[in-house]
């Protein structure tokens, strides 16, 4: 194969091959997130075949989600050090192998290892690198591009939910898993579309790393066995990692990370228990699968329309607030769910929850990029999705335990709803405190120094006062109101 040259651009092209990147990411979300959510359709069949309770069966979906998010930084590392193409193709092979081996399982433990760990690891190598590539190709229309890309999850659920139910009825759950394993191999095709691109910021970082590697190789040739050469290598490696993950020390990112933990705890159980809950109130199997399809198609509308709306001039500066609103609305939907006891009432719920679920999922990369910048976006998204891991692992089994203990779904759904509302309130409170502090510091700075100059860099504000002459009895005033994303 001919070596593919890395495309060079001083700024994101906002089009061109970028739309092929969007198409590739769209297919990746179908093969990863949509397939993961359709595993809940197997829930009753797994529970019946292996004669297990809710909590034990829920671990399958939990492990897939957990490993996918837990290993997201690994996907970022592979794409950063090799290429996005290599990472996604390798992930497609692993995910397909896990699904195919899962079709031969003889116990839940076998499904934990194959369908859970192996498939989840494959999805992890694909998901965050594909999303990060969209951010490298788009700037002005980033939210729209992400909306189209992330809508693959909704379209996938809309199409796959009834198809998977039909496959289970025709070929049993084993045949359905085997066919899904072949379908997931399309991730290898998606990986081939991910043409690398080098932006201006990436060139600067790459040149610094190249200088470090060149100097290291020179020292190794000069004195390969010396102790100080090894120390120099360690220093270069540590410096590279510190630069790549410097955003971890940013206060805005820390708050976002904490909120993600509560948001992830709340969003996962619905996709596991919506079908069993619908069956428990007398809805048929086909109608329950239809609810998942509704979630999927409305998720598409939320992805695209919310992405397009927040790219408009009137909302461009309020994407953070829109993100909080969407999470809070999903939390309120959860609180209403125990009162909905029939299919006509569950359909509006599925529409509302699906729309705002698609809305905030679209804005996760946008909000992350606003905080850390484009250069560190791949690594930051890896960390953000990594933080989904533990909530995704524990929330469905905890919800299952609550169902087994109380005999109803009310406690499980209420806990998830309050968790998502708390996530939204936490981010809103942090932004309010930051804005109040910024206003207070600006007021104090103007009172103390009329020569103060203020400027804004993106979403991050700085106020720096000129160092004044100590002989005049004036002091130095430097007030920092944020962290430079560069």
Complete domains list, the chain, with CATH:
17-197+249-436 (1.20.1250.20)
Round to whole Å and give the CA distance between 257 and 253. Answer: 6
Rounded to whole angstroms, how far apart are CA atoms 103 and 142? 39
Q: CA torsion 422→427→428→433, rounded to 10°?
A: 120
Determine the average pLDDT of the residues in 248-274.
Answer: 87
Query: Residue 363: its pLDDT value, please?
Result: 84
Mean pLDDT (the chain) is 78
H/E stretch holding 457 reads: strand 453-457
Interval 126-174: pLDDT, tens: 888 888 888 788 777 777 788 788 778 778 888 888 889 899 989 999 9
Q: Bridge-partner residues for 479, per DSSP? A: 463
pLDDT higher than threshold 60 for residue 271: yes
Strands 478-480 and 453-457: unpaired
Taking a C-beta distance cutoff of 8 angstroms, is the pair 383, 248 a contact? Answer: yes
More reliable by pLDDT, 342 or 204: 342
pLDDT of 51 strictly over 90? no
| Per-residue pLDDT tens over the stretch 135-145 | 788 777 777 78
Q: Residue 210 has what pLDDT?
A: 47
- pLDDT for residue 177 is more than 90: yes
Supply φ then ψ for residue 409, to 5 degrees. Answer: -95, 0
Model pLDDT, residue 11:
67
Give tens-digit pLDDT for 53-74.
777 888 888 888 888 878 877 8
Please give the sequence-ordered ranges of beta strands (E in DSSP) within 270-397, or none if there are none.
none
C-alpha to C-alpha distance for 422 and 357, rounded to whole angstroms:
16
Of 100-114, 232-246, 267-281, which has the strongest mean pLDDT? 100-114
User: Model-level pTM greater than 0.85?
Assistant: no
pLDDT in tens, 439-473: 888 777 777 655 544 444 444 443 443 333 333 43
Whether residue 136 contacts residue 79, with contact meaning beta carbons closer than 8 Å, is answered with no
Other Cβ atoms closer than 10 A to 205: 16
Do residues 87 and 75 lie in contact, with contact meaning Cβ atoms separated by under 8 Å? yes
Query: In terms of Cα–Cα distance, which of 248, 234, 415 is closest to 337?
Result: 415
Task: Judge whether 272 and 40 are in contact, CB under 8 Å.
Answer: yes
Q: Any idea what the Cα angle at residue 133 is, between residues 130 and 134, rounded to 5°?
A: 95
Quick one: what percent of the chain has pLDDT higher than 90? 19
Specify the range with the lowest mean pLDDT, choosing from 31-35, 245-249, 362-366.
245-249
| Integer Cα distance of 134 and 129 in angstroms | 9
CB atoms within 10 A of CB 198: 15
Q: Residue 95 pLDDT > 90, yes or no?
A: yes
8 versus 391: the higher-pLDDT residue is: 391
Asked whether 65 and 387 are in contact (CB, 8 A), the reply is no
Q: What is the pLDDT of residues 277-333, one digit of tens each?
A: 998 888 888 888 888 888 878 887 887 787 778 777 777 778 888 889 999 999 999
pLDDT, residue 93, reads 93
Quick one: pLDDT at residue 132? 81
Of the pLDDT bands very low, low, confident and very high (cuts 50, 70, 90), residue 382 is confident
Return left, alpha or beta for 484; rule: phi > 0 is left, psi -120 to 50 is alpha, else beta: beta
Q: Is the pLDDT of residue 421 over 60?
A: yes
Residues 260 and 254: their CA atoms lie apart, in Å, by 10
Cα dist from 237 to 2, 211, 344, whole Å: 31, 12, 59
271 closest CA partner among 303, 305, 294: 294
Q: How many CB atoms lie within 10 A of CB 331?
A: 25
Res 131: pLDDT: 83
Contact yes or no for 399/273 (Cβ under 8 A): yes
pLDDT band at 483 (very low <50, low <70, confident <90, very high): very low
Nearest to 328 by CA among 397, 417, 436: 417
The SS3 of residue 106 is coil
- Report the DSSP pairing between strands 7-8 and 197-198: parallel
CA-wise closest residue to 129 among 92, 156, 166:
92
CA 31 centroid distance within chain = 15
Q: Are 91 and 124 in contact (CB under 8 A)?
A: yes
């Amino acid at each position: 194969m001919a070596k593919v040259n890395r495309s060079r651009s001083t700024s994101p092209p906002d089009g061109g091959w970028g739309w092929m990147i969007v198409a590739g990411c769209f297919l990746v979300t179908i093969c990863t997130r949509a397939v993961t959510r359709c595993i809940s359709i197997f829930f009753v069949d797994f529970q019946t075949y292996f004669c297990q309770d809710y909590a034990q069966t829920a671990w399958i979906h939990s492990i897939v989600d957990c490993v996918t998010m837990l290993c997201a930084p690994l996907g970022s590392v592979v794409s950063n050090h090799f290429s996005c193409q290599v990472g996604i193709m390798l992930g497609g092979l692993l995910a397909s192998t896990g699904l195919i081996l899962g079709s031969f399982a003889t116990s839940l433990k076998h499904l934990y290892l194959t369908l859970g760990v192996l498939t989840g690891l494959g999805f992890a190598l694909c998901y965050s690198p594909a999303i990060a590539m969209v951010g490298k190709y788009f700037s002005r229309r980033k939210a729209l591009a992400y909306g189209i890309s992330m809508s693959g999850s909704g379209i996938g659920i809309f199409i796959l939910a009834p198809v998977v139910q039909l496959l289970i009825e025709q070929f049993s759950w084993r045949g359905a898993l085997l066919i899904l394993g072949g379908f997931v191999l399309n991730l290898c095709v998606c990986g081939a579309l991910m043409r690398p691109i080098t932006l201006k910021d990436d060139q600067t970082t790459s040149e610094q790393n190249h200088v470090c590697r060149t100097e290291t190789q020179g020292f190794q040739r000069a004195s390969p066995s010396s102790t100080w050469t090894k120390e120099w290598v360690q220093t270069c490696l540590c410096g590279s990692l510190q630069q790549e993950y410097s955003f971890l020390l940013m206060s805005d990112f820390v708050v976002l990370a904490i909120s993600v933990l509560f948001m992830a705890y709340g969003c996962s159980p619905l996709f596991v228990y919506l079908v069993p809950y619908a069956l428990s109130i007398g809805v048929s199997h086909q109608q329950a699968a239809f609810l998942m399809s509704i979630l999927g198609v409305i998720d598409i509308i939320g992805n695209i329309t919310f992405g397009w709306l927040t790219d408009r001039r009137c909302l461009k500066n309020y994407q953070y607030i829109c993100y909080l609103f969407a999470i809070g609305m999903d939390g309120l939907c959860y609180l209403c769910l125990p009162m909905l006891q029939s299919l006509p009432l569950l359909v509006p719920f599925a529409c509302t929850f699906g729309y705002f679920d698609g809305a905030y999922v679209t804005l996760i990369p946008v909000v992350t990029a606003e905080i850390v910048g484009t250069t560190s976006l791949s690594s930051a998204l890896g960390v953000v999705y990594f933080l989904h891991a533990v909530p995704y692992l524990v929330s469905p089994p905890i919800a299952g335990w609550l169902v087994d203990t109380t005999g109803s779904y009310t406690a499980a759904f209420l806990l998830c709803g309050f968790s998502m509302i708390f996530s939204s309130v936490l981010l809103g409170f942090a932004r309010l405190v930051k804005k109040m502090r910024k206003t207070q510091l600006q007021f104090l700075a103007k009172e103390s120094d009329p020569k103060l100059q203020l400027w804004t860099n993106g979403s991050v504000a700085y106020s720096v006062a000129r160092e004044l002459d100590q002989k005049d009895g004036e002091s130095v005033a430097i007030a920092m109101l944020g962290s430079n994303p560069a």
